[in-house]
């Protein structure tokens, strides 16, 4: 099990409910800056937890690793 920050857990929870959320929407819901959301998403992507499916506009986030806590 990979340890996540509180911010990463919040983003994963939101993505699991709605993978089509934009960075701006994630920032609004988590009270982070868009750059903070971008950094967390990149960290989650690098560790193989999430991936972006489709184009930047119209795509969605997908959680790859289901064993998250």
Contact 11, 24 (CB under 8 A): no
Q: What is the pLDDT of residue 52?
A: 94
CB 62 within 8 A of CB 19: yes
Stated pTM of the model: 0.85
pLDDT value of position 16: 93
Q: What is the pLDDT along the chain (69 residues), one digit of tens a residue?
A: 567 889 999 999 999 999 999 999 999 999 999 999 999 999 999 999 999 999 988 899 999 976 655
| Confidence (pLDDT) at 15 | 95
Cα–Cα distance between 9 and 43 in angstroms, integer?
12
43 and 4 Cβ atoms separated by less than 8 Å: no
Whole-angstrom distance, CA of residue 26 vs CA of residue 24: 5
């Amino acid at each position: 099990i990979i340890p996540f920050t509180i911010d990463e857990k919040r983003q994963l929870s939101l993505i699991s409910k709605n993978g089509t959320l934009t960075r701006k929407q994630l920032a609004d819901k988590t009270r982070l800056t868009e750059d903070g959301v971008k950094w967390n998403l990149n960290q989650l992507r690098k560790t193989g937890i999430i991936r972006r499916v489709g184009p930047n506009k119209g795509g969605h986030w997908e959680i790859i690793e289901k064993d998250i806590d």
